[in-house]
Amino acid sequence: MARRPGPPCSLGRRHALHPGVNGRGRSALPGSSTRAVALFFLVNSILLNLLLAALPWTPERKTVFNYTARALIGRARSDSWTQMHVALQELRAAPDRPLYHHLFFHRHMRFPYAPPSLFLTALVERLPLDALRVLHLVSWLVLAGTVAICVRLFRQSMAEDEGSTGAGQLDRVAGPVLVAAFTLTFYPVVKGFTLGQIQTWLNLALAAALSSWMAGHEVRAGVLSALPCLVKPHYGLLLLWGLSRRRWRFCVAFGAVLGGAFLVSIAAFGWANHRDYLWMLAYVSAHGESFFANASVNGILQRALFNGDNLGWHEDAYPPFNAWVYGGTVLASLALVSGCLLWRPRGSLRASAADLMLAILTCVMASPVAWEHHYGILMPFYAVLLPALVRRPVFGRATIPYLGASYVLTSNYLGITQLTASTRANLLQSYLLVGAVLVLVCLYRLRAASETSAESGR
């Protein structure tokens, strides 16, 4: 008799991130691994940054410590909040004027968020409190929530099939403390908070969606996955992913949130402003960004061709249009999206947690502009991947060193690479993207290895 597969969206029961189809793999990291992880934190997150701070070539002696310290005391700028406030003011002042054209060409301000994002600003400004203080407080709570969700994902990934709590030999205190410490020293996470970026909120929603998916709550995952799409529509790729995997409950929940919000948004802000937003997306896609913080293929190409200033941030201008950069960006995006949607696992492993992480990471990497803080979603991924790769070393003995190398590249601020800005070696400025590519390859390998294991166990 054929074995009945478990829930395709949960972590356990013969899942893509589980030790095997018989559910008898190791349920926890051995004690030596816990010590190794603690040692890795000491070397990567402490000693490496002390060294970088001491080097005279590090710009302003700045490391991830600067951002961690500001995050812990709640000091943040108002990057997203100022843009949203100004956009709402301009919209109220002239409802019939094309919002995005006016903001960019007359106010010289980039406003990259879809019109539904303005509901947040309108809501907060109605409160009898200082709007900026409220947003900063909520952002700090979001940071705390990011720590909590990473701990939860780590525990979910540790959990064994047959009802185990997943703690095993891993110390119940050391595990969460280490995960929290890694999260608070993960550069894209703390950088997003210190900027005052709404991306921090979006990353938390996506991490919560992943946790819900692993727990088998498909509808909740669909709702949470749709929320970032209301601010940045390229996350709509997750709906296409759900359709390609035939996860209908996820898609219905996603579509209901997305469709309902945009209908209300069109009624409130007008179709013309939504059409104007499409113009803005096309303009950004055509021009991209050369600033070193753009960790995308577009950013690599811009810097390789010296098309624009890669050390300075210019609010009022994008790099000049370059056909080679544009063509390379389109080809890279098509390759990433096609791989995500068309290269699908079979049978009961369709739409596994590894598969969902692939889709989320593809949303970020396929965008022509992927700022450093957009990669804050990688920290929740690492919380899932470490226990999964201990159980299933997809690169053999090199698996954990491979994961560690990617973490070194994605978790740190290596400002010293800015010394290469005016040279052909400026590829080194794209170290974050290199680390993300390593994670993407690892996710593909993990998904494939899990599928092979499941098929051999039938």
30 alpha-carbon distance from chain centroid? 29
**Contact residues for 112 (Cβ-Cβ < 8 A; gap 6+):** 232, 280, 284, 369
Residue 16, pLDDT > 50, answer no
For residues 42 and 35, the answer to whether their CB atoms sit within 8 Å is: no
Residue type, 229: C
Across the range 22-37, mean pLDDT stands at: 59
Residue 14 has pLDDT above 70, yes or no: no
Domain membership of residue 17 (yes or no) is no
- Residue 9 to residue 17: CA distance in whole angstroms: 11
Q: Is this model's pTM higher than 0.85 or not?
A: yes
Confidence band (pLDDT; 50, 70, 90) for 21?
very low
Closest CA to 29 of 391, 383, 379, 354: 391
Structure confidence at residue 159 (pLDDT): 83
Q: How far apart are CA 16 and CA 444, in angstroms?
A: 11
In a domain, 18, yes or no: no
Q: Residue 31: which pLDDT band, with cuts at 50, 70 and 90?
A: low
4 located within any domain:
no
Q: What is the C-alpha separation between 412 and 378, in angstroms, rounded?
A: 13
In the chain, the percentage of residues whose pLDDT exceeds 90 is 82
Tally of domains in the chain: 1
Range of the structural domain that residue 299 is part of: 31-456
Minimum mean pLDDT range among 29-33, 149-153, 220-224, 293-297: 29-33
Q: Indicate the helix (H) or strand (E) that contains 68.
A: helix 64-72
For 273, the token pair is: 């402003």
pLDDT 10s digits, 246-269: 999 999 999 999 999 999 999 999
Residue 455 has pLDDT above 80, yes or no: no
Is residue 221 a part of any domain in this protein? yes
Q: If you average pLDDT over residues 163-185, what whole number do you get?
A: 74
131: pLDDT strictly greater than 80: yes
Regarding predicted confidence, which is higher, 313 or 68? Answer: 68
Determine whether 39 is exposed, middle or buried from the number of CB atoms within 10 Å of its CB (0-12, 13-18, 19+).
exposed
Residue 347, pLDDT score: 56
Residue 15 located in a structural domain: no
pLDDT digits (tens, 9 = 90+) for 197-239: 999 999 999 999 999 999 999 999 999 999 999 999 999 999 9
Give every CB contact of residue 25 below 8 A, 6+ residues apart in sequence.
18, 19, 160, 391, 392
pLDDT at position 167, please? 47
pLDDT at residue 337 greater than cutoff 50:
yes
* Domain contains 16: no
Tell which wins on pLDDT, 196 or 23. 196
**155 within domain boundaries:** yes
Q: Which amino acid is at 181?
A: A
Please determine, for residue 25, whether its predicted confidence score (pLDDT) is greater than 90: no
Work out the pLDDT band at 292, boundaries 50, 70, 90.
Answer: very high
Residue 13 forms part of a structural domain: no
